[in-house]
Chain A
Amino acid sequence: MSFPNEHSFAPFIGPFDPCPPITCKTYSTPPHLYMCFQPLNLPQFSPQEALRHGTLWPALYSPYESKWGKGRC
């Protein structure tokens, strides 16, 4: 079973808000939140891939992309 790496919600937008609204807000929900205790014998990255990803286990890899230059998000 897989879980989303990110959740979103629609905040209240007031009629007199001073700035253009961000209608959808997101927050990270990395995989460890759904894993109370890591199961034995999970598939592993190769050592080179593990270093690049920061973890030995694909099941615990959580990508994150910069918001720089992405506008209102």
Chain B
Amino acid sequence: MWIYEKKLQYPVRVGKCDIRMAKYLAEQYGGADGELSAALRYLNQRYTIPDKVIGLLNDIGTEEFAHLEMIATMIYKLTKDATVEELEAAGMGAYYVNHDKALYYQNAGGVPWTATYIQAKGDPIADLYEDIAAEEKARATYQWLIDMTDDVDLQDGLKFLREREIIHSLRFREAVEILKDDREHKKIF
């Protein structure tokens, strides 16, 4: 059960008409290390992870959906007023033929999202290590997206999302520490 707040986690502003970026942002929408993969991975793993860290996967998985709609908003803003000629010039001609201006879960190269991007191994350490790696890969993707644009408004939203990946990575690292630690046992030195 979720309660939906009808606003974005962080305001999304796009400062210039640069359809090229819409194509690249798809990497974080329907790519292997994107927000959809992240949300589905964590919310699915949470059933079999030890009780102590279920809440963490629940919270972060939910936040990933908030990031997903930020990316969706960026892509929508960049494409909604584009002409077919502009879409073609930005390398989105094939996309238009298949989807018009509808959003679709595919990566920047046009490969549709697949469940093989995510794993649920059942081993808590294996799953959390995958989650840490996913956060670092998403952080790197945001860096390369920031590199690809001089639009400071778009960069601002992407920098926020990059910082969130850093925080999530630390939380997963802490989850590993919690699971391997014996801090509940009284130590006598």
B139: chain A residues within 8 A (beta carbon):
28, 30
A52: chain B residues within 8 A (beta carbon):
160
A37 CA to B181 CA in the complex, in Å?
Answer: 11
How distant is B19 from chain A, measured CB to nearest CB, in Å?
16
Q: Which of B152-189 contact A (CB under 8 A)?
A: 155, 159-164, 166-167, 169-170, 173-174, 177
How big is the A interface, by class? 20 to 34
How distant is B36 from chain A, measured CB to nearest CB, in Å?
20
A64 touches B146 (CB 8 A): yes
A28: chain B residues within 8 A (beta carbon):
139-140, 143
B150 touches A68 (CB 8 A): yes
How distant is A44 from chain B, measured CB to nearest CB, in Å?
13
A55 touches B148 (CB 8 A): no
A60 CA to B167 CA in the complex, in Å?
Answer: 7
Contact A66 to B167, CB < 8 A, known contacts A28-B143, A38-B174: no
B142: chain A residues within 8 A (beta carbon):
64
Interface majority SS on A: helix, strand, loop or mixed? loop
A38 CA to B178 CA in the complex, in Å?
Answer: 12
> Does A51 count as interface, using CB distance less than 8 angstroms?
yes
How big is the B interface, by class? 20 to 34
Select B170's contact among A38, A54, A65, beta carbons within 8 Å: A38
B174: chain A residues within 8 A (beta carbon):
36-38
B147 touches A31 (CB 8 A): no
A35 CA to B159 CA in the complex, in Å?
Answer: 21
Q: Which of B131-148 contact A (CB under 8 A)?
A: 139-140, 142-143, 146-148
Interface membership of chain B positions 70-107, coded 1 if the CB is closer than 8 angstroms to chain A and 0 otherwise: 00000000000000000000000000000000000000
B170 touches A60 (CB 8 A): yes
Q: B residues within 8 Å of A by Cβ?
A: 10, 139-140, 142-143, 146-150, 155, 159-164, 166-167, 169-170, 173-174, 177
Q: A residues within 8 Å of B by Cβ?
A: 28, 30-32, 35-38, 51-55, 60-69
